[in-house]
Structure 1
Amino acid sequence: MARRLVLITGASSGIGLAFARTYAANGWDVAVTARRAERLEKLVEEIRLRFGVEAYGLPADLSDASAPGALQEGILALGRTVDGLVNNAGYGQPGGFVGNPWESHRAFMQVMMLAPMELTHRFLPGMIEQKFGRVVNVSSLAGFLPASPGDTVYGPVKTFLTRFSQSLHLEVRDHGVHVSALCPGWTYSEFHDVIGTRSKLSKSIPQWWWMGADEVAREGYQACEANRAACVPGAPNKTVSALLKVLPDDWVMELVSGQLSKIHR
């Protein structure tokens, strides 16, 4: 039987890169997409040589509304179907709501919310038809927080992605399709380097709270295989998510605001 194929967005670094290696290690062929074509080429070569599976690089910028359709056409041109989908592409947008131009917010929503929805909508019917599929939406522990200043849109978008995943999990669970939201906390990746908060966070967040991208991806893979609707990796993050369910929102808002003010001083 031909190997299954997983499409992973934002695969040039961090959790997306770790997911590519994790799926390949478990015998999946891998299609990876990101904006940085040269990194994809290196990853494709590594996966082929290291894991003995097929790999494809499909450069794309998900802030472009036409990208999901182009990715689907690219997969069809390869003569393949998508059996698994990891919606991982994302980034932070500090500076506050008014401090960023509307076009930046529009692009952010396209990458973080609309693209994952459209890619899922495009590939899910084939999964349902064959009665097999895997969808991992990389959300965040931030999605459980009631509110936080500065990165104003990030948390709400992640809340949506988690709830969307849980709803879709219920909708397709009788069709052999597994849908999981992966909700990591502090993770070693390029995410904080890109937005310029690495040094401050390294001083403010204790080392034991950070997780490696490989560990996060492994837990996400296992959660989806087990058909868990949501996965919060790491004991500290599980504790925080449990507390957030019982603490009043007003308390949490003040706690988060106070912690962030220390980080951004």
Structure 2
Amino acid sequence: MTNRSGKGALITGASAGLGEAFARLLAAEGHDVMLVARRTERLQALADELSATHGVRAIVCTLDLSVVGSAAQVQAAAESADFQVDILINNAGLAEPVSFLNLPVDNVRAMIEVMITGLTELTHRFAQGMADRGWGRIINVSSLSAFAPNSPGMLYTGIKSYVLNISQALDMQLKPSGVHVTALCPGFTWTEFHDTQGTREWANQLPAFAWQDAPTVVKAGWEAVTRGEPVCVPGVVNKAVASFTKHLPERLRYLFGKHARMVH
């Protein structure tokens, strides 16, 4: 049975971590979900579970968002399935623990395609429909690192800063139309991020109070976009870190950045 009482939510990077947590939260609230990621089996298992548990429509779109033109394919898949996107969660991301000059150019391009080009294009493709209908919610997953000093040769901080800034700019334009845009800026979160990045051993040395779980982060982000807050930094510790680092003089930010590690 399909629940048509809710809205339609498109979630990228939905096979694990924050994306999966967003899918679970939104389905539990009665929203249909379109799950986008590369791993078909995990997506289908999640879709089947959400449909059976919550009676919502849950469809799978298997795509590699690092491929040029993938945003157009996502839109085509939504239109083909007659899936109206009222909620867009731009969560897909990837990171490399290797500095810029040691990173293959294809990896550089993939990071930019997924977290800048793809995120921006998906927002552009679906935001107008939301504005025309007078309601929409867009969450772009940034990072606490968007407030932090740059790390030597790391693209991640700059990319997430872009996500933070563009989200605020879009919220200014779209809010009068009933569309809220929020940059969700989590700190250290228990997901697969550090496993895929190869930094799990280092991350495990951090104190427990520095960490949040994915459902907590997602709940904070959803509540923030519902209230119309353009930026959400979940957690007291993360809020304090963001406030401290963004007000540092540039010279100190540069010096601190030399010793920084990536967070998410």
- Shared fold per TM-score greater than 0.5: yes
Tell whether 2:84 aligns with 1:102. no
Tell whether 2:9 aligns with 1:9. no
Which stretch shows the higher mean deviation, 173-182 or 238-247? Answer: 238-247
Tell whether 2:133 aligns with 1:130. yes
Tell whether 2:254 aligns with 1:253. yes
Kindly provide the CA deviation profile for residues 89-121 of structure 1, in whole angstroms up to 9, marking residues without a partner as x: 001111100001111101110011000000011
Which stretch shows the higher mean deviation, 112-121 or 2-11? Answer: 2-11
Instruction: Tell me the CA shift for residue 149 of structure 1.
Output: 2.1
| 1:7–1:260 Cα change, 3 Å | closer
Kindly provide the CA deviation profile for residues 63-103 of structure 1, in whole angstroms up to 9, marking residues without a partner as x: 11121111111111111211010000001111100001111
TM-score where L is the length of structure 1: 0.94
The one-letter code sitting in structure 2 at the alignment partner of 1:188 is: W
Runs of 5+ unmatched residues, structure 1: none
Tell whether 2:65 aligns with 1:68. no
Matches of 1:260 and 1:85, distance apart in 2: 29
Tell whether 2:52 aligns with 1:55. no
Q: Secondary structure at the match of 2:48?
A: helix
Kindly provide the CA deviation profile for residues 182-232 of structure 1, in whole angstroms up to 9, marking residues without a partner as x: 0000000001001110011111x2111100011101101111111100000
CA RMSD, Structure 1 to Structure 2 (Å): 1.6
**Is the CA contact (8 Å cut-off) linking 2:61 and 2:77 kept in structure 1?**
yes
**Is the CA contact (8 Å cut-off) linking 2:5 and 2:31 kept in structure 1?**
no
Specify the alignment match of 2:84 in structure 1: 81
Tell whether 2:167 aligns with 1:173. no
Tell whether 2:93 aligns with 1:90. yes
Kindly provide the CA deviation profile for residues 4-57 of structure 1, in whole angstroms up to 9, marking residues without a partner as x: 100000000000100101111112111110000010001101111222211111
Kindly provide the CA deviation profile for residues 122-154 of structure 1, in whole angstroms up to 9, marking residues without a partner as x: 11111011001110000001111131125x100
Matches of 2:58 and 2:7, distance apart in 1: 11
| 1:202–1:253 Cα change, 3 Å | farther
Tell me which of 161, 171, 182 is aligned to 1:159: 161
Specify the alignment match of 1:193 in structure 2: 195
How many residues are aligned here? Answer: 260
* Structure 1 runs, 4 residues or longer, greater than 4 Å off: none
Matches within 5 A, 1:8-27: 8-27=11-30
Instruction: Tell me the CA shift for residue 256 of structure 1.
Output: 4.1
Specify the alignment match of 2:232 in structure 1: 231
Matches of 1:231 and 1:248, distance apart in 2: 23
Matches of 2:13 and 2:69, distance apart in 1: 16
Tell me which of 190, 202, 205 is aligned to 2:204: 202
Which stretch shows the higher mean deviation, 78-87 or 156-165? Answer: 78-87
Runs of 5+ unmatched residues, structure 2: none
Q: Secondary structure at the match of 2:181?
A: strand
| 1:104–1:199 Cα change, 3 Å | same
Matches of 2:256 and 2:53, distance apart in 1: 45
Q: Secondary structure at the match of 2:204?
A: helix
Instruction: Tell me the CA shift for residue 253 of structure 1.
Output: 3.3
The one-letter code sitting in structure 1 at the alignment partner of 2:238 is: N
Matches of 1:70 and 1:2, distance apart in 2: 27
